Chain A
Amino acid sequence: MSQTTGTLLSPPPVTGGSRRKGRLPRWAAWAVFGTALVLVAGIGLPAGLALALVVLFTGVLGTLALYVLSRVTENRRTATDRLVTCVVVGAFALAMVPLLSLVYEVVSRGIGRLDGEFFNSSLVGVIGEGGGAYHAIFGTLIITGLTALISVPIGLLTAIYLVEYGSGRLKKVITFLVDVMTGIPSIVAGLFAYALFAIFFGPGVRLGIAGAVALSVLMTPVFVRSAEEVLKLVPNELREAAYALGVPKWRTVVKIVLPTAVAGLGTGVTLAVARVIGETAPLLVTVGITNATNLNPFDGRMATLPVYAFYQLTQPGVPPEFAIDRAWTAALLLIALVMALNVVARLISRFFAPTTGR
């Protein structure tokens, strides 16, 4: 008995060759892919193969070669492991291609006009060179801010109802409608808001607030969903602890549930804002575009970054290159805004999360 235990616990005997033999050195994978690259490039490039295809073929050839090599020298399990590793890394690289190429393209084309004038001036009296997006930047901030102002209370109250109070059929119907709303095409939301405001102000109405209403149709369901998930994460034990102290339900929700969930709710708001800040179609039909600065969302057309980029690109004027440059810079700014919002969401969830020791 004790002998068996001893054998089980002692490490397997290391007999130099027999274990080392079935194992490729660390640099083997790099070597295989390097050789594949040299081979493909050596044969392909003189024959006029595109660079993208060279990379693709290198990946495929290298993966196959590594698998065969590993299968011959190592065992089957290791070979499968290497194959799957290659496929996973390849899939990741493939997914990164559009992202990197998009960021590269927008940054390289947009960075040129990212100057003081772009932030300081509107397009009033600008023909050709110069001009900026001052009016569009503030338009976007104002309209998105109004959108959040409309959507967050509605969304939060809906989520509270669904998680804390709702039951039975009404809850199911609301959940279903929220799901349906999530799928509404953005242009439909824009047309809805336009039709709504046309009832009061007549056809052809263009108002910043109409754009905010259109965007909140898109933002509300997104926020309801995330807020619902966050509220569900609040442990039921905390609600019970509050009830057991004789705290009424509404006060439990306000004082216990919401503070516990505040980090997640903040993240939800920022991500929902990021979702709608780049919408173009609804703003096109509800807010329109203007060259002058209009910071009053209740009075006429306003400029917004996505619509600004759209018009600068489609109606650049003569000569076109300056307007097209401005369009790229507006696109760059929009991406930067969304990225900044994501960072803010991260920070919120880090700093407001309740400290759970232990």
Chain B
Amino acid sequence: MAKRIDISDLNIYYGDFRAVADVTVSIEPRSVTALIGPSGCGKSTFLRSINRMHEVLPGARVEGKVSMDGQDLYGPDVDPVDVRRQIGMVFQRPNPFPTMSIYDNVAAGIRLNARKMKKSDLDALVERSLQGANLWREVRDRLNRPASGLSGGQQQRLCIARAIAVEPDVLLMDEPASALDPISTLAIEDLMTEMKERFTIVIVTHNMQQAARVSEQTGFFNLSAAGQPGRLIEFNSTEKIFSNPDEKATEDYISGRFG
């Protein structure tokens, strides 16, 4: 299921503005890859370009190559909708569908795509996904209640359950714990450690301890000045990044001597 992603010479634009420049990187399957860096350096933009969510904004476009197990995701005959079915995403703010129940939220990826599935299979899928997101025990007796009644941390785990219910190969997480309290954050970090057996996970985070705790590989993004595009400064094993990075900028950022 988990697949590897190869990115080469990726340039990402908002209209005429180049937000991210010349990124070349390989993301390993069955591992957690963390992206760190200051605000506005293009981490989230880079993340969103992996599953072609970047281009839903007006004027946004991408140059370069992104491929998943050799398949070019930006090829001329590739439907972005298909890409997004294989590469799921969890956002910074929990965004369950407010009109739907907890059950319907998890089943949303199946139902909204009008995939036919037997009720019993769907029930099993919902249970499996909620268990995968470590939420099943908390919500199993109120599956038909509105999702908006859950706490923030539960909502975020519901969003993770919703994302893994469509059985993607890769899971992108854009600061998934930044709006949550430490306990919910811990729950989500534990979850990532479990989930990397099955998925390739890429996470953007501002919390460096979090990056150090959960990831195998870490990429450091930075921009040289405001108005300049963000660049991938260093990409290395997490251990090396946090103990003995190759680049001076990485070390400055990690040790807090930044700018």
Residues of A with Cβ closer than 8 Å to B?
Answer: 167, 235, 237-248, 251-252, 255-256, 259-260, 262, 354-358
Cross-chain pairs A/B with CB under 8 angstroms, 9 sampled: A238-B97, A238-B98, A240-B56, A240-B91, A243-B56, A244-B53, A244-B84, A256-B97, A260-B97
Q: Does B227 contact A (CB under 8 A)?
A: no
Interfacial chain A residues near B95, Cβ < 8 Å: 235, 237-238, 240-241
> A241 with B97: in contact, given A246-B109, A247-B81, A247-B112 (CB under 8 Å)?
yes
Contact residues, B175-234 vs A (CB, 8 A):
none
A357 in contact with B109 (CB, 8 Å) = no
Contact of B112 among A235, A240, A245 (CB under 8 A): A245
A246 in contact with B148 (CB, 8 Å) = no
Interfacial chain B residues near A246, Cβ < 8 Å: 81-86, 109, 113, 166
B53 in contact with A355 (CB, 8 Å) = no
How far is it, in angstroms, between the C-alpha of A191 and the C-alpha of B206 when the chains are bound? 64
B56 in contact with A245 (CB, 8 Å) = no
Interfacial chain A residues near B146, Cβ < 8 Å: 354-355, 357
Interfacial chain B residues near A238, Cβ < 8 Å: 95, 97-98
Q: Does B149 contact A (CB under 8 A)?
A: yes
Interfacial chain B residues near A358, Cβ < 8 Å: 148, 151-152
Task: Please provide the 7 A-B residue pairs with the shortest distance between their CB atoms, ordered closest to farther.
Answer: A246-B85, A354-B98, A244-B89, A237-B95, A245-B109, A357-B149, A357-B148
> A243 with B84: in contact, given A357-B146, A357-B148, A358-B148 (CB under 8 Å)?
yes
Q: Does B163 contact A (CB under 8 A)?
A: yes
A251 in contact with B113 (CB, 8 Å) = yes
Interfacial chain A residues near B33, Cβ < 8 Å: none
Contact residues, B91-148 vs A (CB, 8 A):
91, 93, 95-99, 108-109, 111-114, 146, 148
- Chain B residue nearest in CB terms to A358: B148
Report B25-58 CB contacts with A as 1/0, cut-off 8 Å.
0000000000000000000000000010100101
A245 in contact with B108 (CB, 8 Å) = yes
- Chain A residue nearest in CB terms to B114: A251
B88 in contact with A244 (CB, 8 Å) = yes
Q: Does B3 contact A (CB under 8 A)?
A: no
Interfacial chain B residues near A251, Cβ < 8 Å: 112-114
A245 in contact with B84 (CB, 8 Å) = yes
- Chain A residue nearest in CB terms to B92: A237
Interfacial chain B residues near A237, Cβ < 8 Å: 91, 93, 95
How far is it, in angstroms, between the C-alpha of A247 and the C-alpha of B166 when the chains are bound? 11
Interfacial chain B residues near A243, Cβ < 8 Å: 53, 56, 84
Q: Does B73 contact A (CB under 8 A)?
A: no
Interfacial chain B residues near A255, Cβ < 8 Å: 111-112
Interfacial chain A residues near B2, Cβ < 8 Å: none
Interfacial chain B residues near A260, Cβ < 8 Å: 97-99
Total A-B residue contacts, Cβ distance less than 8 Å? 88
Other CB < 8 Å A-B pairs besides A243-B56, A243-B84, 6 of them? Answer: A238-B95, A245-B166, A252-B112, A260-B98, A260-B99, A355-B98
B81 in contact with A248 (CB, 8 Å) = yes
Taking the closest CB of chain B, its distance from the CB of A88, in whole angstroms, is: 37
How far is it, in angstroms, between the C-alpha of A99 and the C-alpha of B85 when the chains are bound? 57
How far is it, in angstroms, between the C-alpha of A237 and the C-alpha of B174 when the chains are bound? 13
Contact of A241 among B85, B86, B91 (CB under 8 A): B91
Q: Does B241 contact A (CB under 8 A)?
A: no
How far is it, in angstroms, between the C-alpha of A292 and the C-alpha of B93 when the chains are bound? 62
How far is it, in angstroms, between the C-alpha of A355 and the C-alpha of B101 when the chains are bound? 10
Taking the closest CB of chain A, its distance from the CB of B251, in whole angstroms, is: 34
Q: Does B159 contact A (CB under 8 A)?
A: yes
Interfacial chain A residues near B157, Cβ < 8 Å: none
Taking the closest CB of chain A, its distance from the CB of B25, in whole angstroms, is: 21
Interfacial chain A residues near B81, Cβ < 8 Å: 246-248
How far is it, in angstroms, between the C-alpha of A239 and the C-alpha of B113 when the chains are bound? 14
A354 in contact with B99 (CB, 8 Å) = yes
Interfacial chain B residues near A259, Cβ < 8 Å: 99
A356 in contact with B58 (CB, 8 Å) = no
How far is it, in angstroms, between the C-alpha of A252 and the C-alpha of B81 when the chains are bound? 12
A245 in contact with B162 (CB, 8 Å) = yes
How far is it, in angstroms, between the C-alpha of A247 and the C-alpha of B113 when the chains are bound? 6
Interfacial chain B residues near A244, Cβ < 8 Å: 51, 53, 84, 88-89, 91, 163
Interfacial chain A residues near B88, Cβ < 8 Å: 244-245
- Chain B residue nearest in CB terms to A244: B89
Of B82, B93, B108, chain A has the most CB atoms within 10 Å of the CB of B108
How far is it, in angstroms, between the C-alpha of A256 and the C-alpha of B99 when the chains are bound? 8
Taking the closest CB of chain B, its distance from the CB of A221, in whole angstroms, is: 25
How far is it, in angstroms, between the C-alpha of A246 and the C-alpha of B52 when the chains are bound? 10
How far is it, in angstroms, between the C-alpha of A193 and the C-alpha of B88 when the chains are bound? 52
Interfacial chain A residues near B58, Cβ < 8 Å: 167
- Chain B residue nearest in CB terms to A261: B99
- Chain B residue nearest in CB terms to A258: B99
Contact of A356 among B98, B108, B151 (CB under 8 A): B98
How far is it, in angstroms, between the C-alpha of A43 and the C-alpha of B109 when the chains are bound? 79
Interfacial chain B residues near A355, Cβ < 8 Å: 98, 146, 148-149
Contact of B53 among A235, A240, A256, A262 (CB under 8 A): A240
Interfacial chain A residues near B85, Cβ < 8 Å: 245-246
How far is it, in angstroms, between the C-alpha of A240 and the C-alpha of B89 when the chains are bound? 9
